[in-house]
Amino acid sequence: MRAFFSALRRGDAWIAALAVGLIAVAFFVVRKADPGTAVRVRSAAGEQTLSLSADRSVTVTGGGYTLTVTVRGGRVCVADSDCPGQVCVRTGWISRAGESIVCAPAGVTVTVEGAAAPDGVVR
Amino acid sequence: MKEKNTVYRVAFAGLLGALCAALSLLEGVIPAVPLPGARWGLANIVMMFALTEVSLPLACGVTAVKMLMALLRGGTAFLMSAGGSGLSLMVSALLWRFGRNRISLLGLGIAGALAHNSGQLLVARLLLGAGVWYYAPWLLLMALISGTVTGLLLQALLPLLHKIQRKGC
């Protein structure tokens, strides 16, 4: 056990501190990003835009799969999908301009749009 | 004696490559991480071991195996894995080349994981657009946690691995 801890070096603490700082800055920058105003839902069948201020659910189909896209309280998520992988469902709620949910198997993207350019974070 | 050494080295490289492939697969089966795209980086333990205890070329070989395993999960996964693993290997190799007296496997693990997830993010930015930036803080946080876990895990396993490694040499 002692050999285990004596292997640690001071540099480890610096790297950990750098990591924590980087994470803090990243969270800070993301928090300041624009709130979204609308949601654009794209699929092979076409495209529709939903307002983020009106709660509703729509179903979108693509690639033989059916997704339920839900807008509630200014946020949007894929509430349900029968696609394999479930990456879109696990992405959870998004609400800021430029954020998106992608369901690769169904070929569906859900993108939040805001007043500013979607590249807001990078500026 | 020299010949025996060569045979041993080839066998050991094969062993590490297989271990890396197995861990890559295993990780696909246990989706213990709630973040899409985030992984524990178990295969990275093999890369760190190869880099620190054997040689840089072997670390490159192990990384190549890792990228090939990602190819099984599809083209997008492969590109992200390649970006992440490549950057991770570069950062780890440089850190170990110039700072091996100042850091241990813990620091190496964290730095490697941060580099991996940053590389992954950059590739995702190119493939999926600016929306992925919102995901960056979570992915970096995950890197700190998984890097700590994998670094300390290798540190704890090292005495065992040394036994296997030296027996044949």
Q: What is the pLDDT of residues A43-69, one digit of tens each?
A: 988 889 999 888 999 999 988 999 999
**Residue B6 above 90 pLDDT?**
no
Q: Do B134 and A121 touch (CB under 8 A)?
A: yes
pLDDT band for A120, please (50, 70, 90 cuts): very low
pTM as predicted:
0.72
User: Is the CB of residue B115 less than 8 Å from the CB of residue B91?
Assistant: yes
Q: Do A11 and B137 touch (CB under 8 A)?
A: no
The closest CB to that of A12, out of B104, B141, B143, belongs to B104
Chain A residue numbers with beta carbons less than 8 Å from the beta carbon of B91 are: none
| Residue in chain B lying closest to A36 (CA) | B131
pLDDT digits over B33-74, tens only?
566 667 788 899 999 999 999 999 999 999 999 999 888 877
State the average pLDDT over residues B105-133: 89
* CB-CB contact of B160 with B153 (8 Å): no
Chain A with chain B: Cβ pairs closer than 8 A: 88
Q: Minimal Cα–Cα distance from B53 to chain A, Å?
A: 14
What residues in B contact A15, CB-CB < 8 Å?
Answer: 103, 107, 110-111
Residue B129 has pLDDT above 70, yes or no: yes
Q: Are B120 and B37 in contact (CB under 8 A)?
A: yes
Using DSSP's 3-state secondary structure scheme, residue A83 falls into coil
Integer Cα distance of B67 and B146 in angstroms = 19
Tell if the CB–CB gap between B103 and A96 is shorter than 8 Å.
no
Average pLDDT over residues B118-137: 84
pLDDT tier for residue A15 given thresholds of 50, 70 and 90:
very high
- The mean per-residue pLDDT over the stretch A56-84 comes to 92
pLDDT at B112 over 70: yes
Q: What are phi and psi of B20, to 5 degrees?
A: -60, -45
SS3 call for A56: strand
Interface predicted TM-score (ipTM): 0.82
Helix H segments across chain A? Answer: 2-6, 10-31, 87-91
Q: In this model, does residue A123 exceed pLDDT 60? A: no
Q: Which of B99, B137, B144 sits opposite A27 (nearest CB)?
A: B137
- To the nearest whole Å, the CA of B119 is away from the closest chain A CA by 15
Contacts of B164 (CB under 8 A, 6+ apart): none
- Give percent above pLDDT 70 in chain B: 89
- Contact between B144 and A94 using a beta-carbon 8 Å cutoff: no
Task: Give tens-digit pLDDT for B10-40.
Answer: 888 999 999 999 998 888 777 655 666 677 8
Are the Cβ atoms of A30 and B144 closer than 8 angstroms?
no
Q: If interface means Cβ-Cβ distance under 8 Å, which residues of chain B face chain A? A: 34-37, 76, 99, 101-107, 110-111, 114, 128-131, 133-134, 136-137, 140-141, 143-144, 147-148, 155-156, 159
